[in-house]
Protein backbone atom coordinates (compact mmCIF):
# COMPACT_ATOMS: atom_id res chain seq x y z
CA UNK A 1 0.00 0.00 0.00
CA UNK A 2 1.33 3.45 -0.88
CA UNK A 3 2.34 5.83 1.92
CA UNK A 4 -0.55 8.05 2.90
CA UNK A 5 -3.16 5.82 1.29
CA UNK A 6 -4.64 4.95 4.70
CA UNK A 7 -5.11 8.67 5.35
CA UNK A 8 -6.75 9.16 1.96
CA UNK A 9 -9.05 6.19 2.52
CA UNK A 10 -9.98 7.53 5.95
CA UNK A 11 -10.62 11.01 4.56
CA UNK A 12 -12.67 9.59 1.70
CA UNK A 13 -14.74 7.57 4.17
CA UNK A 14 -15.37 10.68 6.31
CA UNK A 15 -16.39 12.68 3.26
CA UNK A 16 -18.76 9.94 2.13
CA UNK A 17 -20.29 9.73 5.62
CA UNK A 18 -20.68 13.53 5.68
CA UNK A 19 -22.44 13.52 2.29
CA UNK A 20 -24.72 10.73 3.49
CA UNK A 21 -25.59 12.54 6.73
CA UNK A 22 -26.26 15.78 4.88
CA UNK A 23 -28.58 14.03 2.41
CA UNK A 24 -30.43 12.21 5.17
CA UNK A 25 -30.80 15.39 7.23
CA UNK A 26 -32.19 17.31 4.26
CA UNK A 27 -34.59 14.47 3.44
CA UNK A 28 -35.89 14.43 7.03
CA UNK A 29 -36.28 18.21 6.94
CA UNK A 30 -38.16 18.01 3.64
CA UNK A 31 -40.52 15.46 5.23
CA UNK A 32 -41.14 17.79 8.17
CA UNK A 33 -39.21 15.61 10.62
CA UNK A 34 -37.33 18.56 12.05
CA UNK A 35 -36.27 16.89 15.30
CA UNK A 36 -34.60 14.07 13.37
CA UNK A 37 -33.13 16.54 10.89
CA UNK A 38 -31.50 18.52 13.72
CA UNK A 39 -30.13 15.29 15.20
CA UNK A 40 -28.56 14.40 11.86
CA UNK A 41 -27.18 17.91 11.29
CA UNK A 42 -25.73 17.81 14.82
CA UNK A 43 -24.09 14.47 14.01
CA UNK A 44 -22.80 15.99 10.77
CA UNK A 45 -21.44 18.99 12.69
CA UNK A 46 -19.57 16.66 15.06
CA UNK A 47 -18.16 14.64 12.16
CA UNK A 48 -17.00 17.82 10.41
CA UNK A 49 -15.33 19.06 13.62
CA UNK A 50 -13.48 15.75 14.00
CA UNK A 51 -12.46 15.92 10.34
CA UNK A 52 -11.12 19.45 10.82
CA UNK A 53 -13.47 20.90 8.21
CA UNK A 54 -14.65 24.34 9.40
CA UNK A 55 -16.69 24.96 6.23
CA UNK A 56 -18.57 21.72 6.86
CA UNK A 57 -19.14 22.70 10.49
CA UNK A 58 -20.55 26.08 9.44
CA UNK A 59 -22.82 24.43 6.87
CA UNK A 60 -24.25 21.98 9.42
CA UNK A 61 -24.65 24.70 12.05
CA UNK A 62 -26.42 27.02 9.60
CA UNK A 63 -28.92 24.32 8.68
CA UNK A 64 -29.62 23.69 12.36
CA UNK A 65 -30.18 27.43 12.77
CA UNK A 66 -32.59 27.48 9.82
CA UNK A 67 -34.68 24.73 11.38
CA UNK A 68 -34.70 26.38 14.81
CA UNK A 69 -35.72 29.72 13.24
CA UNK A 70 -38.54 28.01 11.34
CA UNK A 71 -39.71 26.54 14.65
CA UNK A 72 -39.60 29.92 16.44
CA UNK A 73 -36.58 29.02 18.58
CA UNK A 74 -35.18 32.44 17.77
CA UNK A 75 -32.43 32.82 20.36
CA UNK A 76 -31.01 29.38 19.66
CA UNK A 77 -31.17 30.05 15.93
CA UNK A 78 -29.40 33.39 16.29
CA UNK A 79 -26.58 31.88 18.34
CA UNK A 80 -26.07 29.21 15.67
CA UNK A 81 -26.18 31.75 12.83
CA UNK A 82 -23.56 33.82 14.65
CA UNK A 83 -21.36 30.74 15.03
CA UNK A 84 -21.71 29.91 11.34
CA UNK A 85 -20.98 33.52 10.37
CA UNK A 86 -17.87 33.59 12.56
CA UNK A 87 -16.57 30.48 10.81
CA UNK A 88 -17.48 31.68 7.32
CA UNK A 89 -15.80 35.05 7.93
CA UNK A 90 -12.65 33.41 9.34
CA UNK A 91 -12.23 30.93 6.48
CA UNK A 92 -10.65 32.17 3.27
CA UNK A 93 -12.39 29.51 1.18
CA UNK A 94 -15.95 30.49 2.08
CA UNK A 95 -18.22 30.64 -0.92
CA UNK A 96 -20.09 33.96 -1.12
CA UNK A 97 -23.52 32.26 -1.31
CA UNK A 98 -22.81 30.34 1.92
CA UNK A 99 -21.98 33.59 3.71
CA UNK A 100 -25.01 35.34 2.20
CA UNK A 101 -27.31 32.47 3.21
CA UNK A 102 -26.15 32.68 6.83
CA UNK A 103 -26.63 36.47 6.80
CA UNK A 104 -30.07 35.96 5.28
CA UNK A 105 -31.13 33.55 8.01
CA UNK A 106 -30.00 35.86 10.79
CA UNK A 107 -31.61 38.87 9.09
CA UNK A 108 -34.84 36.94 8.68
CA UNK A 109 -34.87 36.07 12.39
CA UNK A 110 -34.69 39.79 13.21
CA UNK A 111 -37.21 40.83 10.56
CA UNK A 112 -39.77 38.27 11.70
CA UNK A 113 -39.30 39.51 15.28
CA UNK A 114 -39.96 43.07 14.07
CA UNK A 115 -36.42 44.23 14.82
CA UNK A 116 -35.62 46.09 11.59
CA UNK A 117 -32.65 47.99 13.03
CA UNK A 118 -30.83 44.71 13.64
CA UNK A 119 -32.02 43.17 10.36
CA UNK A 120 -31.22 46.02 7.96
CA UNK A 121 -27.40 45.82 7.92
CA UNK A 122 -27.58 42.04 7.54
CA UNK A 123 -30.00 42.30 4.61
CA UNK A 124 -27.78 44.94 3.01
CA UNK A 125 -24.66 42.81 3.33
CA UNK A 126 -26.45 39.70 2.06
CA UNK A 127 -27.86 41.66 -0.90
CA UNK A 128 -24.41 42.93 -1.85
CA UNK A 129 -23.02 39.39 -1.79
CA UNK A 130 -25.94 37.93 -3.74
CA UNK A 131 -25.66 40.68 -6.36
CA UNK A 132 -21.90 40.20 -6.70
CA UNK A 133 -22.39 36.45 -7.09
CA UNK A 134 -25.19 36.89 -9.64
CA UNK A 135 -27.94 35.42 -7.43
CA UNK A 136 -30.83 37.63 -8.49
CA UNK A 137 -33.47 35.80 -6.45
CA UNK A 138 -31.42 36.26 -3.27
CA UNK A 139 -30.84 39.95 -3.98
CA UNK A 140 -34.54 40.42 -4.78
CA UNK A 141 -35.56 38.85 -1.47
CA UNK A 142 -33.17 41.15 0.38
CA UNK A 143 -34.63 44.16 -1.43
CA UNK A 144 -38.15 43.07 -0.53
CA UNK A 145 -37.29 42.84 3.17
CA UNK A 146 -35.37 46.11 3.08
CA UNK A 147 -38.33 47.86 1.49
CA UNK A 148 -40.72 46.33 4.04
CA UNK A 149 -38.55 47.51 6.93
CA UNK A 150 -38.85 51.16 5.91
CA UNK A 151 -36.21 53.83 5.38
Per-residue pLDDT tens digits for 79-126? 999 999 999 999 999 999 999 999 999 999 999 999 999 999 999 999
Mean pLDDT, rounded, for 16-26: 95
Q: How far apart are CA 98 and CA 72, in angstroms?
A: 22
Specify whether the CB–CB gap between 87 and 44 falls below 8 A: no
Element holding 34 (H helix, E strand): helix 34-50
Closest of 29, 96, 22 to residue 53, by C-alpha: 22
**Percent of the chain whose pLDDT exceeds 70:** 95
Q: How far apart are CA 116 and CA 113, in angstroms?
A: 8
The separation between CA 117 and the C-alpha centre of its own chain, rounded to angstroms, equals 22
Total count of residues recorded for the chain: 151
Q: Tell me what percent of the chain is helix, strand and coil, each rounded to the nearest 5.
A: 85, 0, 15
Q: Rounded to the nearest 5 degrees, what angle is found at the Cα of 71, between the Cα atoms of 70 and 75?
A: 90
pTM for the model stands at: 0.89
Amino acid sequence: MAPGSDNKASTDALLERARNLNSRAQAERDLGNTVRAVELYTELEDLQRRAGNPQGVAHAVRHQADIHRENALTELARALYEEALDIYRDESGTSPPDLANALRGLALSYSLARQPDQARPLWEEAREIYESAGFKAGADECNMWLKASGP
